[in-house]
A = this chain, B = another copy of it.
Amino acid sequence: MTTRLDIHNSKTPNLCQSCEIRHKGMCGALSTEELVTLARHTRQVRHDAGAQLSSEDTPITSYANVMRGVLKLTKVLEDGRQQVVGLQFAPDFVGRIYGQTNDVSVEAASDVELCRVPRAALEQMVADNPKLERRLMEQTLRELDEARGWMVTLGRKTAAEKVASFLHLIATHIDPLGETVDEAAVEFDLPLSRADIADFLGLTIETVSRQMTKLRTAGVITIVANRHIVVPDLARLKARCG
């Protein structure tokens, strides 16, 4: 690992220079000097799909930024019923600030790359930098909006609409950095298994599978491989989201 950098000059750290999310996530709020300070503590880490990064009641010891891949946040009932309560894409910030525990379990849905920051280092930076705190506030508000949007889906949409809504979400969030080009064709790999999708939508895997088949036979999507989907017309998909 050759991520060592000369901390005596204040040029953008090598690591951050090549970071694709440099300007989009939390780091966009930082000056070059602050970035240097932060980079002394960060470490890029990779996790395979399925890896559990933290669980509902473990104390928080570090935060991270998603650089590549998708994380899922889940909660479980005592009897094992599970609900995915959030998905995080690059360049989302991961981790609950100002809290003792996460209250959610964090798992890698796909293979992921994270930029990890120890708890103390981040909290120090936040305390010193109002702009950073504000960024985190905005991310939190975005997550709240997303959670509320999914409450509508969970509570009031049919299985068909739920699956369409999920595909629409992925289609509009997965692309590396391209801005949403509505009405256009989109092609992507699902970052979640059928079981995860079911847990996200409050359905069973069988129902998810059946609804995917219906969307396929209706010509709304093409299932190239189990995980590999083509949406020829995003507007037609959106029309099925209820």
Residues of A within 8 A of B (CB): 73, 75, 77-79, 81-83, 85-86, 96-99, 103-104, 130, 133-134, 136-138, 140-141, 143-145, 147-152, 154-157, 199, 201-202, 242
Q: Report the Cα distance A81→B242, complex, angstroms.
A: 9
Q: Report the Cα distance A79→B241, complex, angstroms.
A: 12
In the complex, the answer to whether A152 meets B98 with C-beta atoms within 8 Å is no
Which 3 A-B pairs rank lowest in CB-CB distance, beginning with the nearest?
A: A155-B202, A147-B147, A154-B154
Residue of A81, A141, A148 contacting most chain B CB atoms (<10 Å): A148
- The copy count of this chain in the complex is 2
Residue of A73, A77, A155 contacting most chain B CB atoms (<10 Å): A155
Q: Report the Cα distance A99→B157, complex, angstroms.
A: 27
User: A112: shortest Cβ distance to chain B, in Å?
Assistant: 20
* 12 intermolecular pairs with C-beta atoms under 8 Å apart: A85-B151, A98-B134, A98-B141, A103-B145, A104-B148, A136-B137, A140-B144, A144-B147, A147-B147, A151-B151, A151-B154, A155-B202
Write the chain B residue with the least CB distance to A137.
B137
Residues of B within 8 A of A97 (CB): 137, 141
> Quick one: given A85-B151, A137-B133, A147-B148, are A156 and B77 in contact (CB under 8 Å)?
yes
User: A241: shortest Cβ distance to chain B, in Å?
Assistant: 9
User: A28: shortest Cβ distance to chain B, in Å?
Assistant: 15
Q: Report the Cα distance A151→B155, complex, angstroms.
A: 8
User: A133: shortest Cβ distance to chain B, in Å?
Assistant: 7
In the complex, the answer to whether A155 meets B98 with C-beta atoms within 8 Å is no
Residues of B within 8 A of A143 (CB): 144
User: A103: shortest Cβ distance to chain B, in Å?
Assistant: 6
